[in-house]
């Protein structure tokens, strides 16, 4: 099977059916969640699970065909069976729960605020009793379901009631029985869901009133941006359409303010062309509020079925189900969030694999290290402290030995350099040098390594230092050997002498390894 664009568009990640019987006509709508979003579908689609399983089988079949014969016997039976299973064989048919609509005129809605103390508990009990707890299943003629949710700082409870006879009639007309797990939902609730799906209420502030109009009637829904709070069924058999809308507006406004103690209606919108545009201006003038016209289908059985199908695709915990008390409560195993638990388990499996990999690699390294330690025979049985002592002793021996054997300064080379670099007229008187390694020089200004030259140069006039003095210093300073080991060369002192009628200058040049600091 090739995954063309056409195939992709037919893939259904999830699908659901909505069924609504009205005036002897059964409206059935199929809605599916596809890779391109949620949309109404017709005909057969491709279920994602079927697609995946068919692809896996195909890959497995191809792999087994290419496998050398000698390996076939080792192949697990499950794989062989899975590969040879006929992909076209239909799975065992099973009933897929649908959402069935109950006509608006057969349902009574009761909405009220829940007081913080007493009513809150009542609501909680109601939730528990109605939502699959161990509530008694009384043989009642009236079915009831309620939801409680928070609006601003208040809790609102909606209770819907319908007669059992109505559900039996729907079952007879549609063939969908509550015992098979189908949900029965009030039609106005489904209308709101469909309307909200097509034209969502974007503002979160204030209450919203939406009119969904049809040819013979409609629905006015008082809602927040998330849920409906009350609705009113409209019919214009006896009165003009706008008048009915205005009456519904005032009824629901009063209900919101006085019964639910909520704020005034802030936004009004009309859905269902062409009636919406026809009524807009008159309604706006009558209620003195801006009225928007939003896109969407007209009110009718098809729209109801569409809303019901959306509910089947994306089931919500706080949706109504009038047949709840007729159905067996879900077991705890059915309520368990298996997906999240499996996801968390998979995280732990990943963690196990990572830790196991780390452990294995560390064990391997340990094995190698232990073998290498064992291979050093002289160290076997020697305690770690003894080895450390030996290493320390060797360090204490080797480091000074290295220092002693390194010959940075060579006095022989230094003398050669001095002899070759000093100017011709200069004569050396004394050469003193030290290269101390482990002892400190008592004269700290000289440091542990230095050469001090005392030399003479002819100088006829007292007070005039001959150029040979500075030449000597400069030449020594520029010499490569001195620059490397005794880079700081300076003139230490200069004295002028006269002897036997000849004048000369005696000067000292000091070359040290470090800058002399006083």
Residue 25 or 391 with smaller CB distance to another protein: 391
Residue 110 or 386 with smaller CB distance to another protein: 386
Shortest Å, Cβ 138 to another protein: 19
- Beta pairing class for 99-102 and 183-186: parallel
Closest CA to 112 of 260, 314, 309, 294: 260
336, 478, 483, 495: which one binds another protein (CB under 8 A) = 336
Query: Going residue by residue from 378 to 397, which x/- string records binding to another protein, judged by CB under 8 A?
Result: -x----x--xx-xx-xxxxx
Residue 181: is the preceding peptide bond cis (ω within 30°)? no
395-424 binders of another protein (CB under 8 A): 395-398, 400-402, 404-405, 407, 410-413, 415-416, 419
Neighbouring C-beta atoms of residue 206, cutoff 10 Å: 14
434, 471, 488, 496: which one binds another protein (CB under 8 A) = 434
255-294 binders of another protein (CB under 8 A): none
Please tell me what DSSP assigns to residue 118: H
25, 63, 216, 355: which one binds another protein (CB under 8 A) = 355
Shortest Å, Cβ 356 to another protein: 7
Alpha helices (H) in 422-479, listed in sequence order? 467-478
| CA separation for the pair 280, 79 (Å, rounded) | 65
Residue 195 or 321 with smaller CB distance to another protein: 321
8, 254, 345, 464: which one binds another protein (CB under 8 A) = 345
Shortest Å, Cβ 317 to another protein: 6
Q: What is the DSSP string of 333-358?
A: HHHS-HHHHHHHHHHHHHHHHHHHHH
Tell whether residue 67 is a contact of another protein (CB under 8 A): no
Tell whether residue 366 is a contact of another protein (CB under 8 A): yes
| CA separation for the pair 430, 448 (Å, rounded) | 19
Helix axes 187-198, 301-313, angle to 10 degrees: 80
Q: Is 396 exposed, middle or buried (0-12, 13-18, 19+ CB in 10 A)?
A: exposed
Tell whether residue 180 is a contact of another protein (CB under 8 A): no
| CA separation for the pair 100, 321 (Å, rounded) | 9
86, 238, 439, 515: which one binds another protein (CB under 8 A) = 439
Can you list the positions of beta strands (E) in 67-119? Answer: 99-102, 107-114
Shortest Å, Cβ 399 to another protein: 9
Q: Contact at 8 Å (CB) between 245 and 220? A: yes
Beta bridge partners of 208: 223, 267
| CA separation for the pair 483, 512 (Å, rounded) | 10
Tell whether residue 435 is a contact of another protein (CB under 8 A): yes
Residue 128 or 261 with smaller CB distance to another protein: 128
Q: Contact at 8 Å (CB) between 247 and 236? A: no
Residue 36 or 411 with smaller CB distance to another protein: 411
Tell whether residue 150 is a contact of another protein (CB under 8 A): no
Tell whether residue 440 is a contact of another protein (CB under 8 A): no
Tell whether residue 376 is a contact of another protein (CB under 8 A): yes
Residue 88 or 406 with smaller CB distance to another protein: 406
Shortest Å, Cβ 397 to another protein: 4
Q: Contact at 8 Å (CB) between 209 and 254? A: no
Residue 72 or 369 with smaller CB distance to another protein: 369
Shortest Å, Cβ 292 to another protein: 36
Query: Going residue by residue from 103 to 142, which x/- string records binding to another protein, judged by CB under 8 A?
Result: -------------------------x--xxxx--------
Shortest Å, Cβ 148 to another protein: 13
Scanning 74-82, 248-256, 368-376, 463-471 for contacts with another protein by CB under 8 A, the matching segment is: 368-376
Q: How many residues bind another protein (CB under 8 A)?
A: 70
Please tell me what DSSP assigns to residue 96: P
Three-class SS of 303-333: HHHHHHHHHHHCCCCCCCCCCHHHCCCCCHH
Shortest Å, Cβ 183 to another protein: 17
Residue 152 or 400 with smaller CB distance to another protein: 400
Cα 7 versus chain centre, distance: 31
150, 344, 460, 483: which one binds another protein (CB under 8 A) = 344
Indicate the SS3 state at residue 4: coil
Residue 128 or 250 with smaller CB distance to another protein: 128
| CA separation for the pair 28, 20 (Å, rounded) | 7
Cα 209 versus chain centre, distance: 37
Shortest Å, Cβ 389 to another protein: 10
Tell whether residue 341 is a contact of another protein (CB under 8 A): yes
Closest CA to 510 of 495, 480, 490, 496: 490
| CA separation for the pair 493, 499 (Å, rounded) | 19
Long-range contacts of 324-329 (CB under 8 A, 24+ apart): 324/130, 324/131, 324/132, 324/145, 325/130, 325/135, 325/137, 325/138, 325/140, 325/143, 325/144, 325/145, 326/137, 326/143, 326/167, 326/178, 326/179, 327/178, 327/179, 327/181, 329/132, 329/133, 329/134, 329/135
Tell whether residue 69 is a contact of another protein (CB under 8 A): no
Shortest Å, Cβ 325 to another protein: 15
Shortest Å, Cβ 120 to another protein: 15
Residues that bind another protein (CB under 8 A): 128, 131-134, 317, 329, 332, 335-337, 340-341, 344-345, 347-348, 351-352, 355-356, 358-359, 362-363, 365-366, 369-370, 372-373, 376, 379, 384, 387-388, 390-391, 393-398, 400-402, 404-405, 407, 410-413, 415-416, 419, 427-439
């Amino acid at each position: 099977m090739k995954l063309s664009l056409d195939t992709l568009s037919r893939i259904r990640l999830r699908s659901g059916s909505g069924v609504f019987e009205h005036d002897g006509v059964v409206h059935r709508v199929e809605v599916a969640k596809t890779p391109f979003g949620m949309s109404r579908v017709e005909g057969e689609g491709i279920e994602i699970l079927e697609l995946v399983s068919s692809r896996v089988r195909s890959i497995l079949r191809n792999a087994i065909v290419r496998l050398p014969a000698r390996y076939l016997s080792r192949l697990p039976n499950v794989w062989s069976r899975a590969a040879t299973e006929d992909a076209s064989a239909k799975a065992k048919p099973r009933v897929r729960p649908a959402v069935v609509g109950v006509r608006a005129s057969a349902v009574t809605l009761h909405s009220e605020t829940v007081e913080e103390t007493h009513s809150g508990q009542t609501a909680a009990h109601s939730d528990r009793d109605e939502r699959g707890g161990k509530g008694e299943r009384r043989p009642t003629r009236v079915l009831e379901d309620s939801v409680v949710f928070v609006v601003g700082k208040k809790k609102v409870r909606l209770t819907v009631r319908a007669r059992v006879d109505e559900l039996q009639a729907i079952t007879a007309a549609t063939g969908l029985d509550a015992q098979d797990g189908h949900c029965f939902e009030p039609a106005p609730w489904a209308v709101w869901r469909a309307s909200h799906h097509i034209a969502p209420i974007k503002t979160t502030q204030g209450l919203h009133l939406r009119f969904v109009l049809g040819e013979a009637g409609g629905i006015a829904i008082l809602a927040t941006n998330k849920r409906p709070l009350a609705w009113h069924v409209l019919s214009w058999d006896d009165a003009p359409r706008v008048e009915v809308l205005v009456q519904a507006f005032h009824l629901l406004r009063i209900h919101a303010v006085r019964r639910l103690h909520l704020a005034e209606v802030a936004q009004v919108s009309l859905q269902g062309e062409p009636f919406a545009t026809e009524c807009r201006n008159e309604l706006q003038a009558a209620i003195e509020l801006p009225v928007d016209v939003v896109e969407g289908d007209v009110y009718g059985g098809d729209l109801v079925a569409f809303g019901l199908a959306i509910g089947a695709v994306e089931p919500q915990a706080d949706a109504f189900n009038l047949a709840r008390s007729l159905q067996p409560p879900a077991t705890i195993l059915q309520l368990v969030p298996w997906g999240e638990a499996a996801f968390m388990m998979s995280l732990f499996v990943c963690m196990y694999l990572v830790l196991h990999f780390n452990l294995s690699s560390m064990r391997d390294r340990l094995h190698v290290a232990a073998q290498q330690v064992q291979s050093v025979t002289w160290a076997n049985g020697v305690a770690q402290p003894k080895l450390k002592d030996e290493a320390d002793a060797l360090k204490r021996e080797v480091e000074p030995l290295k220092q002693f054997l390194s010959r940075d300064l060579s006095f022989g080379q230094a003398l050669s350099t001095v002899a070759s670099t000093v100017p011709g007229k200069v004569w050396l008187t004394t050469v003193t040098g030290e290269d101390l390694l482990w002892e400190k020089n008592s004269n700290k200004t000289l440091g542990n390594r230095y050469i001090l030259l005392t030399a003479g140069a002819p100088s006829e006039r007292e007070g005039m230092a001959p150029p040979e003095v500075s030449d000597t210093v400069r030449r020594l300073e520029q010499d490569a050997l001195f620059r490397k080991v005794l880079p700081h060369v300076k003139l230490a002192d200069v004295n002028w002498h006269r002897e036997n009628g000849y004048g000369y200058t005696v000067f000292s040049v000091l070359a040290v390894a470090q800058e002399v600091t006083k």
